[in-house]
Structure 1
C-alpha cells in the first residue's frame, strides 16, 4: 500500500512548473529593477547628481536588494526548514511581486523630492528579502522529490528561471525602448513593473498545488526538524556553508556584468544603441538555457562538482576577451561575448542545484543553500556594477573591470575543491543511519 507521502508524489511536469514558473517570475521582477537602474533610475530618482554619480546611486539602490537577500534567505530558510518548503515559496512570490508592482507606481524625485529614492530603497529591500528565500525553496521542492541520480536535472528546473527572467525582462524593456526618451522616462519604464502582478497570480496558482517532498515530511513526522536551523548549520557544517557561499560568487559576477553594467558601459562608452544591447543579451539567453540543460544532464552522469569546476574555469578566463569583443563596437563581436558568457553561467547553473542539495543535511538544507547562494550573490552581483563603474571612472579602461571579475571567479574556483558531499539519502532508505556531518 502506498504511503501518504508517495501518494502525493507530484509529476515531473508539475514540479517543473512550480519550480521554473516561480523563479522566472521572481527573477523577472529582480532583473527589471537592474535594467531600470541602468537606463532610468539615475535620472528619475537622483537628478541632482552628475551622470556618473547618478548611475552609481542607482546601482547602489540595486545593491541594497542584495544586502537584504541573505537576511531573507536566513529567515525564510528558517521557517522553510521548520514548517515546510511550499508555504515559504508562496510567501516569496507575494513579497517580491508586491514590491515590484509598487515600484511601478512610485512618484519620482521631481514629484516628492527625497521621499522618492527613500521609498525606492524600501521597496528594493522588500523585493530582495523575498528573492532571498526563493531560490533555495524552488531548488528543494524539485530536488527533494528526485532520486540522487537525477538531482542535477531536477535542480536545473529552478535555474531556468534566471535566464527566463532575463529574457522576459529584456523583452519587456525592449517593447518600450522604441519610445522617445521623454516618454520612456515619463511612463514607459513603469510598464514592465506593473505587468508583474499578472505573473505573480499565475505563480501562486501553480505553487498552491504542490506538496513537500517525502524526505522532508519524514523529518517532520519524526519531530526531528531543527529548532534553530541556522545555529545547527553553523555548528555542524561551517566549512560547507563558507565554501558554498564563495562558490556562489562567479555566476552572478559574470551575469550582472553583462545584464546590468554592460547596458551602461555599452551605451555610454562604446556607443551601442540601447535596443541593440537588449536584443543581443536577449539572444544570448537562448544559449544560456541550452547550456543549463546540457550541464544538468552531464552533472548527473559525471558529477555536479566536476561540471561546476568546469564552469568556474571558463568564468576565470572569459572576462578579458569579453570586454575586448564589446569594445570593438561591432554587434557580431558583442554577441559572441554575451553568448560565451551565457555558456559560462549555464555550466555552473546546471550543476549548482544538485551540488548544493547534496552538501547540506535535510534538517537545515533550506537555510544552508539559501544563505550560501545569497551571500555569494551579494558579493558577485551587488558589488560588481558599483565596482565596475568606479574602476572605469578611475582608470578609463575596461581591463581593470575584467581583471576584477576574473579575480572573483577565481575565488569560486578555489572554493570548489574543498566542498564535501554528505552521505547519500538512499543510505537511510536502506536502513542505515545517515551520519550527520560535523565539519561539512
Structure 2
C-alpha cells in the first residue's frame, strides 16, 4: 500500500467518524426532544388535561405514573434492539428506533382529552417511546465509540449523551413558547404543537442517519461469523447474563445520574413554580441549565479520556451529595437567578460530570459481539432504577413532608451513595482495547 493510499484511507476514516458523531448527536437530540418533552408536559400539562377530576396533588402523581411507563419499557427496547444490533448491524436498528420514536411522539400530540381513554393512550404511546429510546442510546453511543476506537473515543461517544440536554432544550423551549398562549388555549391545543413538530425532526434525522457507515468493529465480527471462526452462542443476551457482574455494576453506577435528571426535570420544575416563580420562568431556568450541560458533558468526556472515566464520574456524584440541599434552597428561593443557579449546579455541573464519561464507560464494559445488548441493557437498567420511579417517589415524599424538600434531598443523597459504592467495584475502561475484549469485557 502506498503512502498516498494510506493517507486517503485515513482521511476517509476521519470523514466517516465526523458523519457518525453528527448522526449520533442529532439522533439522540431528536429522541430526547421527544422523551423529555413528555417529561416536562407530564409536570405542567397532563395533570389538568387528562386527570382534571382528581385533586392537583393526586393528578400530578398520576401524570408522573404515565411518565414512568416509558422507563419500564426501556430495558425491553435495549434487549430487542440490542440483540438485532449485535446480529445484523447497528445502523439498521438506529434508523428503526428513530422512526418508532418520532411516530409515537407525533401521536401523543393527537391524543384526545378524554380522562380515561386519553390517559390509556398516553400510557401506550409512552411505552412505545421507552422501547425506542431503549434501542437508540446504545446504538448511537456504539457507532461513535467503535468508529473512534483511539484515545478520543470517550469524547466521540459522549455526543450521544450531549444529544440529551440538546433535545431537552429544544423540547422545553417549544413547550415554553406554546405556554405563552392564554392558559385555556395552551391546555386545549397549544401543548400539542411541540409533539406534532416531531414529524419534521424525524425527517431530518432519518436523512442524516441514512448516510452513515456501519461500525468497522461490527463488520469485523460479522465477517468472522461468516467464516465460521466464531462458534460461540449467537444470542448476545445469553453471553452477557453468563457473567452478569459488568452488567449489574454498569447499571448501578449510572443510576444516580438518572435520578438527578428525572428529579430536576420533573419535580424540580414543579417545585420552583410552587415556590414563587411562574411556569415560564421555571421552564426557562431548566432550559438554560440544559444548554450549559451540552458543553459540560463534552468537557467531562474529554477529561475522562485523559484521567479515566471513574474519577470524573466520582466527582459528579460527590458534588451532588454536597450540593443537593443548597440546590433545592436555590430552586425554591422564588428568585429567578437563584432558580437558574440551582438547576445549573445540579444538572449542568453534577449530572454532566456523571453523564460525560457514561457512554464510553458503559459501552467499554462489553465486547463487540454483544456490546449493543450489554451497553443498552446496562444503561436502561440504570434509567429504570434511577429515572423511572423517581418522579413518583419524590412527589410522594414531598407530599408526606408537607411540601418540604427534606425527604427528597435524602433520597437523592442515598441514590448517589449507591452509585458511588458500585463505582468502587467497577473496572476502569479508558485503556481497554475494544477489538480484543470478549462479550463480558474481559481480555479475549
Q: Give me the TM-score of the superposition, normalised by structure 1.
A: 0.93
Contact 2:308/2:428, CA 8 A, preserved across alignment: no
| Residue 237 (structure 2) aligns with | 230
CA distance 1:426–1:378, shift in 2 (3 Å): closer
How many Å separate the matches in 1 of 2:400 and 2:124? 30
Name the Cα RMSD after superposition: 2.2
Aligned to 2:342: 337
Secondary structure of residue in 1 paired with 2:356: helix
Counterpart CA distance in 2 for 1:373 and 1:436 is 16
Question: 1:65 — aligned with what?
Answer: 70
User: Partner residue of 2:312?
Assistant: 307
Instruction: Give deviations 1:282-314, integer Å, cap 9, x for gaps.
Output: 111232122112211111111112211111211
Equivalent-residue separation in structure 2 for 1:60 and 1:435 (angstroms): 39
Q: Which residue of 2 aligns with 1:221?
A: 223
In the TM superposition, 1:35-50 aligns within 5 A as: 35-50=40-55
Unaligned runs of 5+ in 2: none
In the alignment, structure 1 segments of 5+ residues that lack a partner are: none
Secondary structure at the residue paired with 2:426? coil
Name the structure 2 match of 1:388: 394
- Pairwise mapping of residues 12-411 of structure 1 onto structure 2 (< 5 A)? 12-109=17-114, 113-223=115-225, 224=230, 227-236=234-243, 238-267=244-273, 269-341=274-346, 342-396=348-402, 397-411=404-418
State whether residues 66 and 128 of structure 1, in contact with CA within 8 Å, keep that contact through their aligned partners in structure 2.
yes
Q: 1:72 and 1:357 mapped to 2: Cα distance? A: 16
Q: CA deviation at 1:317?
A: 2.2
Q: Which runs of 4+ in 1 moved over 4 A?
A: 5-8, 421-428, 433-440
Q: Distance in 2 between matches of 1:170 and 1:95?
A: 21
Deviation at 1:318, TM superposition (A): 2.1
Distance 1:122 1:145 in 2: 35
Structure 1: how far apart are the matches of 2:325 and 2:11?
53
Taking the aligned partners of 1:438 and 1:76, their CA distance within structure 2 comes to: 20
Once residues 41 and 327 of structure 2 are traced to their aligned partners in structure 1, the CA distance between those partners, rounded to angstroms, is 23
Q: 1:248, CA displacement in angstroms? A: 1.4
SS in 1 for 2:396: helix
Q: Deviations over 1:34-91 (max 9, x none)?
A: 1111111111112221111111111000000000001101111111111111000001
Deviates more, 1:377-386 or 1:63-72: 377-386
Secondary structure of the structure 2 residue equivalent to 1:248? helix
In 2, distance between residues paired with 1:78 and 1:436? 13
